Amino acid sequence: MNSFWDVPIIVVDVETTGHDAVNNRITEIACVVVRGGEIIEEYSSLVNPHQFIPAFISDMTGISNAMVFNAPEADEVFSIVYEFFKMPDAIFAAHNVQFDWKFVQETMKRSGIPEIEMSQLCTYKLAKRLLPKESKKNVGALAHYYDIEISNRHRALGDAEATAKFLICLLEEAEKEYELETLEELLQFQNKRLPPTKVTATIQNRVEEYLLRLPNTPGVYKMYGAKGDLLYIGKAKSLKERVRSYFQSSAQLPPKIAKMIRYVYKIEWEESGSELSALMHESKEIKIHKPPFNTASKKLRRYPFLRLTVQDEFPRLEWCDTIQMDGAEYYGPFRSNGMSREIAETIQRNFTLRLCGDILSPNANATPCFYHQIKRCGAPCAGFESKEEYWSEVERVRKFLSGFSDGIVVHLEEEMTEAAERLDFEHAIFLRNRITELKRLFDRQQQVSTSVTANNVILVLPMQERDKTLEVFFIRRGKLHYQAEIGRKAPLTNLEQMIGNTYFAENDIDTIELSPEEVDEIQIVTSWMYRNRERATCIYVEQKSSDMLIDELREAVRRASTPKEEIVVLIDSI
């Protein structure tokens, strides 16, 4: 059974001339493809409806009759949309999915496009089952709940992008709170009737004093039983809203949490400066105490990595799910096996690193394997490629994994154009999807390593509810090394000294070994940074001295002028 992280979920939003899928028409459509917890592709287009758009709809969407007068015809637009739906194992998703699904189906039928069978996922239904009952569940409210900024509200692409982003958050909630893993479980869960939790007056009276004192800030909370035994640990963006939601009448809670509520006698909490610090603190506390009702968190997921065996004379690239102290370079972690394997396959197609797993001893009498015949290997085993030439290819792979395309995207774009010119549209669409995914790796202004062993990051974040305070994280090799809270105008002496202690220590070692718990921490950091990348200011530094990094930190603190601004300083190759 497929994990819902491994399948493409096509998030669709349509703007229309009315609410009747048979008699009204689509004026705009957007498709946003989510896989592995990331947005990998987007498409949007206006559509000529050959129908008048009522004034109240134009006022809401901003789409006028003049805008769609010369827009593409429906059959032209939906021939492209159809290719998205044909992606293997693709799922159709939308907010109030039946509305969008009916309009898409009717439009494809009128356009003569073959009917396609797809499972449907409704983000509205998911939100109703996963989030507090009192919170609103429309697109705008859910975007606000997850701190997602919507550009062009009530336009197809703006709403589809926001829906895709909070869908990723909902999937994380479903995995953590309900222990859902497979796509089949997720599709069943959206339609599952959840019985309301009975919170008796006795329970309410026991916890009332704690509920009244909860702050409206991010943090970590702990629930205890009658004998002081720790039952559950959780994190919240708002301690007040989250903890209170457990004890509301008719609250819909996961079965294990509904059972746990009956035994709660005491609640403790610790405020955090930001959601990131709450996430990391929660993760550490659960791993230490292993509360009985945190069953999903106790079962650590194995995240995939790519391993470049640079300790070998002729390195290979391979897929793995653990990091060892073996001198290799590890890239990741990736959220899904599918994504990591696709990147590995792309490298195998475009570079000539050997694929054999044997210890290599070049011999002029050796016969090269099949991969040399199809130009996928330079055959160093037979002396057709020198060690120096082979390591030149290794460096190209390193650059590729560091977000530097080295001409591969250009080559694929040329191949895509050629495929389209010979009317091989299926291959052209496949190449377009691959190009879009690769461009996500190469969206940096300069080359910076993504190797775990070189992933050193300083995060400077304004603290929520405390406008004059900043939170600083020193991430060393993907793990939290140091954390501090400072005033916006406070001296940076301690932080400047910490730069030297963290990144320039004389006893530094070149190899690391990570436990599953540490890999989980790396995934928390990378996932948070990915979700917040649009609000972050990124400064990439390579081969910089301590003094230069101190200057960068001072500038980052200076620029963190509002609570919403987040600055990321990436430090590499030190």
> If you ran DSSP here, which 8-state letter would residue 315 be given?
-
**What pLDDT tens digit does each residue of the chain (574 aa) get?**
688 988 999 999 999 999 999 999 999 999 999 988 888 889 999 999 999 999 999 999 999 999 999 999 999 999 999 999 999 899 999 999 999 999 999 999 999 999 889 999 999 999 999 888 778 999 999 998 888 888 888 899 999 999 999 999 999 889 888 888 899 999 999 998 877 788 889 999 999 999 999 998 889 999 999 999 999 999 988 899 889 989 987 777 888 888 999 999 999 999 987 778 888 889 889 888 999 998 755 455 667 888 899 889 999 998 887 777 778 888 877 767 777 777 788 788 888 999 887 778 888 888 888 888 888 888 899 889 999 999 999 988 887 776 555 566 777 788 888 888 888 877 787 777 667 656 655 544 334 445 676 677 788 877 655 567 888 888 877 777 888 888 877 788 888 888 888 877 665 544 456 677 777 777 777 667 666 666 665 555 566 788 888 888 888 888 765 544 455 555 544 4
Query: How many CB atoms lie under 10 A from the CB of residue 144?
Result: 16
Tokens 């300790």 sit on residue: 311
Q: Do the domains 9-190 and 201-298 sit in the same CATH topology, yes or no?
A: no
Cα angle, residue 207 at apex, residues 204 and 210 outer, rounded to 5°: 135
Residue type, 6: D
Cα angle, residue 188 at apex, residues 184 and 189 outer, rounded to 5°: 115
Label the pairing between strands 456-462 and 566-572: antiparallel
pLDDT of residue 296: 56
- Within 13 Å, how many C-alpha atoms sit on residue 355's CB side? 17
Query: What does pTM read for this prediction?
Result: 0.73
As a whole number of angstroms, the distance between CA 295 and CA 571 comes to: 36
As a whole number of angstroms, the distance between CA 17 and CA 56 comes to: 10
- 127 exposure class (CB count in 10 Å sphere: 0-12, 13-18, 19+): buried
Each domain of the chain, given as residue ranges in start order, spans: 9-190, 201-298, 305-401, 452-572
Superfamily of domain 9-190 in CATH is Ribonuclease H-like superfamily/Ribonuclease H (3.30.420.10)
Q: Which of 172, 145, 139 is closest to 32 using CA atoms?
A: 139
Query: How many CB atoms lie under 10 A from the CB of residue 537?
Result: 14
As a whole number of angstroms, the distance between CA 288 and CA 269 comes to: 16
The rounded radius of gyration (Å) of the Cα atoms in the chain is 26
Q: Helices 183-190 and 123-130 meet at what angle, rounded to 10?
A: 80
CB 31 within 8 A of CB 84: yes
**Does domain 201-298 match CATH 3.40.1440.10?**
yes
Q: Which two tokens stand for residue 173?
A: 């909630």
Query: How many CB atoms lie under 10 A from the CB of residue 69?
Result: 10
